[in-house]
Amino acid sequence: MRPLTETEQKTVFEKLANYCTDLKSLIAPLDDGDRYVFRLNHSRVYYVRLSVANLATSVSRDALLSLGTCLGKMTKTGKFRLHITALPILSEHARHKIWVKDNGAQPFLYGSNVVKAHVGRWSEDCPEHSGVVVYSMADIPLGFGVTARSTTEARRLDPTGIVCFRQSDCGEYLRDEDTLFAG
Amino acid sequence: MAPTKTIKNKHAANKSGIKGSKDAERSRNDGVLKSKGKPKSKTHTLVTANKGRPDIKELIARKQKKRKYSEKELAGLIPELNMVTPVGVSKPKGKKKGKVFVDDKESMATILAIVQAEKEGQIESKMIKARQMEEIREARRVEADKKEAERKARLEETKDSLRKKRKRSKQTGGGKGDDDDARDVKNISSAGTNAFKSKKKKSVSFAAE
């Protein structure tokens, strides 16, 4: 387990900035004097309290399966891929949001894109190809994706037209159970 | 030269071991041993070796003098191999080995500020572009609507004018004129304003035998 390098930290922040507005609150000091840091183990990036990270140094790399919140994975080409486990952090500071109706929640959780007919409401002034967090109508975060059309364009779209490309959904906790934390 | 001196050695000179012998005398006189056979050949080989020595030195010197190319020069001279190296993997040359970790608050905050400013700028420009495109589309739609309305108005105008004409002819009287007007209106309504072209009737005639 090690801290991130400059370039790694930059790529992680760039990816997070697609979905979140306020990144400063992520690294802001907590009331008890502690703060959150980023750690890398087995090419997975963890968002963890500094005190916990310091404690985890007593566990060997191979024996350490996970700690804190797993944000995602650094690929071999140096890119960063967000995992569904990062959803609680993304949904807290989401830049753009889409709420899907109850009839659209299941198709989304099974891995399909969001079509216009399933959208209950969406945030205004959302440009195309920007990160968006998908919620159910009861404000429960279901996953995240990338907008296929801007809000104004999506209004003119037919009901079967895709509004949001799925990146990750809560169904992955079951579908990718074997590879989500290791491998 | 060195080899001759070695032969001039005390023991070699007194080869016979007898004082006053021919050999001993000879050696004392000229100091050079004119031996036959083996020693001669020895000297010969040594001479040839002597001749070769400077060559080796030269070779070594030449080897040492060989130009050494720097990394930059080599990169220019040698063609790159057809390798698949992703952009993220290629490491900059001449940089110190090892990783520089970012763990302190300040450096993390600076990176975050840079990234956030960049992203905000990108999103802002995207939004502005989208808005501009939307404006252009709206303007085009308004223009198309306007043209459509104009066309409809013109059509209505021609219709009205034809109706008025018909009324006027009715007031003046004449059954034949009435029929003609009715036909005109029919033609115009079916073929638009290009109704005059369809007035000519086609006819077939047969030659008399």
Tokens of B1: 């030269």
What is the rounded CA–CA span in Å between residue A92 and residue A26?
10
Q: What is the pLDDT of residue B192?
A: 54
Q: Nearest 5°: phi and psi at A55?
A: -65, -35
Confidence of residue B27 (pLDDT cuts 50, 70, 90): very low
Does the pLDDT at position A99 exceed 70?
Answer: yes
What is the rounded CA–CA span in Å between residue B150 and residue B156?
10
The position carrying tokens 């919620």 is A135
Q: Is B17 left (phi over 0), alpha (psi -120 to 50) or beta?
A: left
Question: Quick check: B101 and A5 CB within 8 A?
Answer: yes
Max distance between CA atoms of chain B, in angstroms, equals 179
Confidence of residue B12 (pLDDT cuts 50, 70, 90): very low
Residues of A in contact with B89 (CB under 8 A): 76-78
More confident residue, B181 or A127: A127
What is the rounded CA–CA span in Å between residue B46 and residue B40?
10
Q: What is the pLDDT of residue B37?
A: 47
Those residues whose C-beta lies under 8 Å from the C-beta of residue B40, and which sit 6 or more positions away, are none
Residues forming beta bridges with residue A141, ordered by sequence position: A135
The position carrying tokens 């400077």 is B54
Quick one: average pLDDT of A20-29?
A: 88
What is the rounded CA–CA span in Å between residue A68 and residue A56?
10
Quick one: average pLDDT of A87-103?
A: 93
Q: Tell me the ipTM for this assembly.
A: 0.84
User: Considering only CA atoms, which of B130, B121, B91 is closest in space to residue A17?
Assistant: B121
Q: Which residues of A touch B (CB under 8 A)?
A: 2-6, 9-10, 13-14, 17-18, 23-24, 27, 29, 35, 37, 76-79, 125, 127-128, 130, 150, 152
Q: What is the pLDDT of residue B197?
A: 53
Does the pLDDT at position B21 exceed 80?
Answer: no
What is the rounded CA–CA span in Å between residue A79 and residue A99?
29
Quick one: average pLDDT of A50-77?
A: 92
Give SS3 for A36: strand
User: Considering only CA atoms, which of B16, B55, B36, B112 is closest in space to residue A4?
Assistant: B112
Quick one: average pLDDT of B135-162?
A: 94
Q: Could you tell me which chain A residue has the CA closest to the CA of B86?
A: A77
Q: Name the helix (H) or strand (E) containing B140.
A: helix B105-172
CA distance, residue A154 to nearest chain B CA (Å): 12
Q: Which residues of B touch A (CB under 8 A)?
A: 86-89, 99-103, 105, 107-109, 111-112, 114-116, 118-119, 123, 126-127, 130, 134
User: How does the average pLDDT of chain B come out, rounded?
Assistant: 71
What is the rounded CA–CA span in Å between residue A163 and residue B151?
37
pLDDT in tens, B48-101: 545 555 577 777 777 677 777 888 787 777 777 777 777 667 677 777 778 888
What are B134-138's contacts with CB under 8 Å, separation 24+? B134/A152
Q: What is the pLDDT of residue B134?
A: 87
Domain boundaries, chain B: 2-65, 107-195
Does the pLDDT at position B116 exceed 50?
Answer: yes
Tokens of A34: 């502690």
User: Considering only CA atoms, which of A154, A83, A72, A76 is closest in space to residue A115?
Assistant: A154
Q: Which of A5, A23, A78 sits opposite B89 (nearest CB)?
A: A78
Domain boundaries, chain A: 2-89, 94-174
Strand ranges of the sheet holding A80-82, from the earlier edge strand across to the other edge: A2-3, A36-41, A44-49, A69-74, A80-82
Question: Quick check: B115 and A2 CB within 8 A?
Answer: no
More confident residue, B43 or A40: A40
Quick one: average pLDDT of B22-47?
A: 49
Does the pLDDT at position B7 exceed 50?
Answer: no
What is A2-89's CATH number?
3.10.450.220
* Torsion angle (degrees, nearest 10) of CA B15, B17, B20, B23: -10
Quick one: average pLDDT of B108-116?
A: 91
Looking at 3.30.750.200, 1.20.210.10, 2.30.130.10, 3.30.70.20, the CATH number of the domain A94-174 comes to: 2.30.130.10
Q: What is the pLDDT of residue A126?
A: 87
More confident residue, B124 or B192: B124
Tokens of A161: 């037209």
Q: Name the helix (H) or strand (E) containing A28.
A: none
Question: Quick check: A3 and B89 CB within 8 A?
Answer: no
